[in-house]
Amino acid sequence: MTNAEELICRTRELLKEHPPAGTARLDFLRARFDAGLAWVHYPEGLGGLDAPRSLQAVVDAELEAAGAPDNDPRRIGIGLGMAAPTILRYGTREQRQRYLRPLWTGEEVWCQLFSEPGAGSDLAALGTRAVREDGSSSGTGGAGGGGDWVVNGQKVWTSSAHLARWAILITRTDPDVPKHQGITYFICDMTDPGVEVRPLRQITGEAEFNEVFLTGVRIPDSRRLGAIGDGWRVAQTTLMNERVSIGGMRLPREGGMIGPVARTWRERPGLRTHDLHQRLLKLWVEAEVSRFTAERLRQQLAAGQPGYEGSGMKLAFARLNQEISGLEVELRGEEGLLYDDWTMRRPELVDFTGRDAGYRYLRSKGNSIEGGTSEVLLNIVAERVLGLPPEPRTDKDVAWKDLAR
């Protein structure tokens, strides 16, 4: 097994052969991937070395000290945090070879075509249809059985769809079975005919989300992930990784939303009151607890697949962001309501800390919706972590086509 000393040697060899100061950014990233130093816990040949996940920090520290470029992970977070682990687990050898390298280097941006109007919190009720050319939904083998699927439907709340080349897509392939059983998972080319992306303007004024219409989109069976009808199980891998990537990100002390509030408190003593002081202390402590809990979660991830702990972290992330941003607006008074840019923008990434307090307050409202609503995540934690009785589900064994809509 690769150890820390070997990784340091490999990293320094990479830096020697491809000095960051004299190597084009993309060339360096490709060389890093090929050297197995992209994500060290991935298999050899796919950007990794089958090393313990915890050793990634060793590589990152060496590269950062040398001034090496990174792959701008915030811009390609959906690919890194959701698409990649799903492709690694369920993809064929050809799919892994084709998609993982340009995904990691950022040459190809990914988006997630999951939620639909009427199928957000109840994602398994989705209605986007994929029909094989011969009209069948038969077959249970892996991707590559031949033939095309024709997809029709609508997706919504799709981050980065206006930038993406590829999408992870779940569809209804068999309406005659209960909703969780008739779903199939695909990789969709966002440049194909029939894919239309429309912006959704948010309360912040920008349009980082989109709605996507799929009209007669042809997807070859070679772009299917997992077996036909097994898409819900494949999607669970995506969703669990998504919640970890949102709620379990690595932050320094006073990183994230708590940082701007703490700076304002220190720099502007005239704004202080006893009540605001107590509230800030409480939220500062909770932010630290969340930060350390996220670190422990990442350590658990090093030993295997993400579990339902990510749902709890994502819950805490949303609540803290909303409470902290609300305190910041209150702390600043009338000034806190100012927001300098209401123009219609199509951002490449969400920048919480580089904007005004008013922007942070408005944008954080979406944190309890995106990546799984807080209500759904509370159910998951209650049932699957705490072992509480599940909610009644009267539609569990009803064919999807017979569900009330």
Q: Which DSSP string do the residues of 174-206 spell out, in sequence order?
A: -TTSBTTTSEEEEEEETTSTTEEEEEE--TTS-
CA–CA gap between residue 295 and residue 354 (Å, rounded): 24
Task: Show which of 38, 70, 102 is a domain's final residue.
Answer: 70
Residue 302 pLDDT = 56
> Coil, helix or strand for 96?
helix
Q: Say yes or no: 111 and 16 in one domain.
A: no
Do 376 and 121 touch, CB atoms closer than 8 A?
Answer: yes
Helix (H, G, I), strand (E, B) or coil at 168: strand
Question: Do residues 298 and 364 share a domain?
Answer: yes
Domain stops at, among 201, 229, 257? 229
320 and 202 together in one domain: no
270 and 340 in one domain? yes
Tell me whether residue 395 is in a domain: no
- Residue 53 sits in the same domain as residue 83: no
Burial (0-12, 13-18, 19+ Cβ within 10 Å), 145: middle
Reference 341, options 358, 322, 366, 365; nearest CA is 358
**In whole angstroms, what is the distance from residue 147 CA to residue 145 CA?**
7
Q: Domain of 126: which CATH number?
A: 2.40.110.10
* SS3 (DSSP) at 8: helix
Tokens of 348: 């490449």
The full DSSP string for 378-400 is HHHIIIIIS-PPPPP-TTTTSBG
What does the alpha-carbon distance between residue 155 and residue 212 come to, in Å, rounded to a whole number? Answer: 5
Residues present in the chain in total: 405
Decide: 33 and 47 in contact? Cβ < 8 Å. Answer: yes
Task: Determine, yes or no, domain membership for 268.
Answer: yes
Q: Is 357 helix (H, G, I), strand (E, B) or coil?
A: helix
33 and 66 inside one domain: yes
CB 280 within 8 A of CB 262: yes
Q: Which residue stretches of the chain have pLDDT < 70?
A: 1, 135-146, 243-250, 298-309, 340-344, 348-354
Q: Are residues 51 and 106 in the same domain?
A: no
Count of H helices and E strands in the chain?
Answer: 12, 8
Are residues 30 and 111 located together in one domain of the fold?
no
Q: How far apart (Å, rounded) are the C-alpha atoms in residues 332 and 336?
A: 5
Is the same domain home to 34 and 100? no
- pLDDT given for residue 344 in this prediction: 64
Instruction: Give yes or no: residues 219 and 91 share one domain.
Output: yes
Q: Is residue 128 part of a domain?
A: yes
In a domain, 390, yes or no: no
pLDDT in tens, 364-374: 988 888 777 88
15 and 31 in contact (C-beta within 8 Å)? Answer: no
Q: Are 271 and 331 in contact (CB under 8 A)?
A: yes
Last residue of a domain, one of 178, 196, 229: 229
pLDDT digits (tens, 9 = 90+) for 321-375: 999 999 999 888 888 877 766 666 777 666 666 678 888 898 898 888 877 788 8
What values do phi and psi take at 3, rounded to 5? -110, 180
> Dihedral of the CA atoms 133, 138, 140, 141 (nearest 10)?
-40
Nearest residue to 188 via CA among 103, 79, 115, 113: 113
Residue 291 forms part of a structural domain: yes
The token duo for 101 is 């390298």
- Is residue 242 included in any domain, yes or no? no
Looking at the structure, tell me whether residues 271 and 312 fall in a common domain: yes
299 is in which domain, residue-wise? Answer: 248-385
> Domain containing 263 — which CATH number?
1.20.140.10
Residue 143: per-residue pLDDT: 60
DSSP string, 266-325: HH-GGG--HHHHHHHHHHHHHHHHHHHHHHHHHHHHTTSS--THHHHHHHHHHHHHHHHH
Tell me: do 111 and 211 sit in the same domain.
yes
Which one is catalytic: 242, 295, 348, 370?
242
Q: Is 242 labeled as catalytic in the residue annotation?
A: yes
What pLDDT score does 132 carry? 95
Report the DSSP beta bridge partners of residue 200.
209
What is the total count of domains within the chain? 3
Structure tokens, 181: 């059983």
Distance of CA 29 to the CA centre of its chain: 21
Q: Which tokens is 113 given?
A: 């075509």
Q: CA-to-CA distance for 402 and 405, rounded, in angstroms?
A: 9
Q: Per the structure block, which two tokens stand in for 153?
A: 């439907």
Q: Please report whether residue 284 resides in a domain.
A: yes
* In a domain? residue 162: yes
Provide the β-strand partners of residue 113: 169
Cα–Cα distance for residue pair 380/239, rounded to 1 Å: 12
SS3 assignment, position 2: coil
Residue (of 79, 74, 111) closest to 212 by Cα position: 111
Three-state DSSP class for residue 88? helix
